[in-house]
Structure 1
Amino acid sequence: MTGIAMKQLGTLQWLEQTHGRLGLRDKLALVAQGVKARAATRKRMGASVKFRHREVDDILPPDSAIAREAMAMCEAASAPFLFNHSLRAYFWARLLDDGSKPFDDEAVFTAIMLHDMGLTDAHRLQGSDEQCFTVVGARMAEELGAKHQWNDRRTALAANAITLHLNVIVDPKHGREAEMVRAGSGGDVAGLGLDVLEQDQINAVCTKHPRLNFKTSIVPVLGLEEAQRPCCRIAFMNSRLGFTDLIANAPMFSE
Structure 2
Amino acid sequence: MTNLDLDATGLEFPRTEVALAALRLAEECESVPLFHHSLRTYFFGRLVGEQLGLRAGEDYDDQLLFLGCVLHETGLSPRGDGSQRFEVDGADLAAEFLARQGLPAAEVEVVWDAIALHTTDTIALRKRPEIALVSRGARFDITGGPVSLPAGHVERVHAALPRLDVASALHEAIVGQTSRNPDKAPPFTLPGELHRQHTGAAWPTWEQLTATSEWDGRTAASR
TM-score by shorter chain over 0.5: yes
> Per-residue deviation at 1:199?
5.8
Structure 1 residue 81: Cα displacement: 0.9
**1:124 alignment counterpart:** 81
Equivalent residue, structure 2, for 1:63: 15
Residue 174 (structure 2) pairs with residue 222 (structure 1): yes
So what's the TM-score if we normalise by structure 2? 0.71
Offset, 1:76? 0.4
Once residues 155 and 72 of structure 2 are traced to their aligned partners in structure 1, the CA distance between those partners, rounded to angstroms, is 24
Q: In the alignment, is the contact (CA less than 8 A) between 1:59 and 1:94 conserved in 2? A: no
Please show how residues 50-199 of structure 1 align to structure 2 within 5 Å.
Answer: 59-98=11-50, 99-100=53-54, 102-125=59-82, 128=83, 130=84, 132-191=85-144, 193=145, 195-198=147-150
- Bigger Rg, structure 1 or 2: 2
Residue 206 in structure 1 maps to residue 158 in structure 2: yes
SS in structure 2 of the partner of residue 184 of structure 1: helix
- Give the 3 Å change call, closer, same or farther, for CA 239–194 of structure 1 in structure 2: farther
Check 1:200–1:170 CA distance in 2 against 1; reply closer, same or farther (3 A cut): farther
In the superposition, relative to structure 1, how do residues 124 and 141 fare at CA in structure 2: closer, same or farther (>3 Å)?
A: closer
- CA RMSD after TM alignment: 2.5
Gaps (5+ residues) in structure 1? 1-56, 242-255
Q: 1:195, CA displacement in angstroms?
A: 4.5
CA displacement, residues 185-244 of structure 1 (integer Å, 9 cap, x when unaligned): 1111232x3552256322221111111122332222232345433315223454799xxx
User: Per-residue deviation at 1:79?
Assistant: 1.1
**Among the aligned pairs, what percent are the same residue?**
26
Q: Deviations over 1:61-80 (max 9, x none)?
A: 10011111111010001111
Secondary structure in 2 aligned to 1:112? helix
Which protein has greater RCO, CA pairs closer than 8 Å, 6+ apart?
A: 1
The count of aligned residue pairs is: 180
* C-alpha contact 2:33 2:165 (8 A) present in aligned 1: yes
Moved more, 162-171 or 143-152: 143-152
CA shift in 2, pair 1:215/1:145, >3 Å: closer
Is there any run of 5+ residues in structure 2 with no aligned partner, and where? Answer: 1-8, 198-223
Q: Is the contact made by 2:117 and 2:124 (CA closer than 8 Å) also made in structure 1? A: no
User: Cα offset for 1:109?
Assistant: 0.8
Give 1:121 deviation, angstroms. Answer: 2.5
Distance 1:225 1:194, change over 3 A: farther
Q: Residue type of the partner of 1:120?
A: S
- Cα shift at 1:140: 2.6
Deviations 1:83-133 (A, max 9, x none): 1111111111111013336111111111111111111133212xx3x2x11
For 2:203, the equivalent position in structure 1 comes to none
Take 2:124 and 2:168, find their aligned partners in 1: how far apart are those partners? 31
Contact (CA 8 Å) 1:142, 1:156: kept in 2 or not?
Answer: yes
SS of equivalent to 1:174 = coil
CA distance in structure 2 between the aligned counterparts of 1:140 and 1:226, rounded to whole angstroms: 18
